[in-house]
Amino acid sequence: MRLFNQKETSDLRKASEKEAQKPGHSLEIFDFSGENAITVKDVDLYYGTFQALKKINMEMPKYKITAMIGPSGCGKSTLLKSLNRMNDLVEGCRVEGEITIGNVNVYEKGIDLSALRKNVGMVFQKPNPFPMSVYDNIAYGPRTFGIKKKNVLDEIVERSLKQAAMWEELKDRLNKSALGLSGGQQQRLCIARALAVGPQILLMDEPTSALDPISTGKIEDLCEELKNEVTIVMVTHNMQQAARISDKTAFFLLGEMIEMGDTEQIFSAPVHPETERYITGRFG
């Protein structure tokens, strides 16, 4: 199975953006020419008076997998959802500091949230396919951005399913309901759906926690292939998973980012004693 290379993906992404342009609506193009896809600087996040994140500083390199680990309630999913402003939907949520995606501080006034979420896709813990056909699930996002031509949609559907390593499985089932797929297939379909709008970054919130080991292995293999085309930021409670597939790992505890480094270093020679205690299973 051959994935599209970076140039092919970029060419189709540009063609899709050109097709999607509408008068009066700007699909802002983020500049991802720098070394880091995401920079988090002095970020504090509050839910009302409760401070969920405390002075977070991180750099997430382009075309790498960054894993965020730590016990439940430590802030890692909160930070993940802040990267494409999903936390805007939570009443009383307030963010201070800067989160730069490409070259844009996404918490500046006037940011086009549609453009942000087009560039920064999200895959959730539980598969959530729409109650429609496989084809329409994949085409939903591109249609939302104004792509109507069938030949363009056909190319996007094929590309996205190939990127998600599902084309051979589903090419003869495109008009069948997505709800008839297995759990693992549904999650890979959700990844394909996120890829269909040509994101530069893919956020994954415990994407394999509800899946069997075989499906988990397929998604891990998929992530390692996808990082050639997109930057991946993943929250996981599975430390073995982080050790297997991530390039960078960040350890969170009680709303603070305790330590971040190359994954091999974090798991073999952590600097902070809290990190060592967590990865050796002495708490969490």
**Sign of the C-alpha dihedral computed for residues 235, 75, 34 and 7 taken in this order:** positive
The answer to whether 61 and 85 have CB atoms below 8 angstroms apart is no
pLDDT on residue 20: 44
Q: What percent of the chain has pLDDT over 70?
A: 89
Beta-carbon neighbour count of residue 226 at 10 Å? Answer: 21
pLDDT at 22: 42
Q: How far is CA 6 from the centre of its chain?
A: 18
| Nearest alpha carbon to residue 197 among 163, 220, 170 | 163
**Residues 151-157: contacts with CB within 8 Å, 24+ apart?**
152/15, 152/16, 152/19, 155/12, 156/12, 156/16, 156/196, 157/196
- Delineate the domains of the chain, giving CATH numbers in brackets: 6-25+61-80+115-279 (3.40.50.300)
pLDDT-derived band at 154, boundaries 50, 70, 90 = very high
- Cα 266 from Cα 254, distance rounded (Å): 18
Predicted confidence band of residue 248 (pLDDT cuts 50, 70, 90): very high
pLDDT of residue 28: 53
According to the model, what pLDDT value does residue 23 have?
Answer: 36
Per-residue CA distances from 129 to 158, 175, 203 (Å):
17, 14, 17
Q: Specify the pTM.
A: 0.88
pLDDT grade for 282, boundaries at 50, 70 and 90: confident
pLDDT digits (tens, 9 = 90+) for 103-142: 899 999 888 898 899 999 999 999 999 999 999 999 999 9
pLDDT the model gives residue 10: 52
How many CB atoms within 10 Å of residue 182?
12
- In contact, 249 and 239? CB cutoff 8 Å: no
Residue 96 has pLDDT above 70, yes or no: yes
User: What pLDDT digit, counting tens, does each position of 15-73 carry?
Assistant: 444 544 443 334 456 788 889 999 999 999 999 999 999 999 999 999 999 999 999 99
Handedness of CA 31, 37, 41, 47 (dihedral sign): positive
- Sequence-ordered alpha helix ranges (H) in the chain: 6-20, 76-82, 113-119, 134-144, 150-163, 167-170, 183-195, 213-226, 239-245, 263-268, 273-279
Q: Which residues of 10-32 are buried (b: 16+ CB within 10 A; e: fewer)?
A: eebbeebbebbeeeeeebeebeb
pLDDT of residue 161: 96
Read off the pLDDT band of 89 (50, 70, 90). Answer: confident
User: Is a pLDDT exceeding 90 seen at residue 284?
Assistant: no
Instruction: Give the distance between the most distant pair of CA atoms in the chain.
Output: 58
**Residue among 66, 38, 52, 54 at smallest CA distance from 266:** 66
Q: Reduced to 3 states, what is the DSSP secondary structure of residue 81?
A: helix
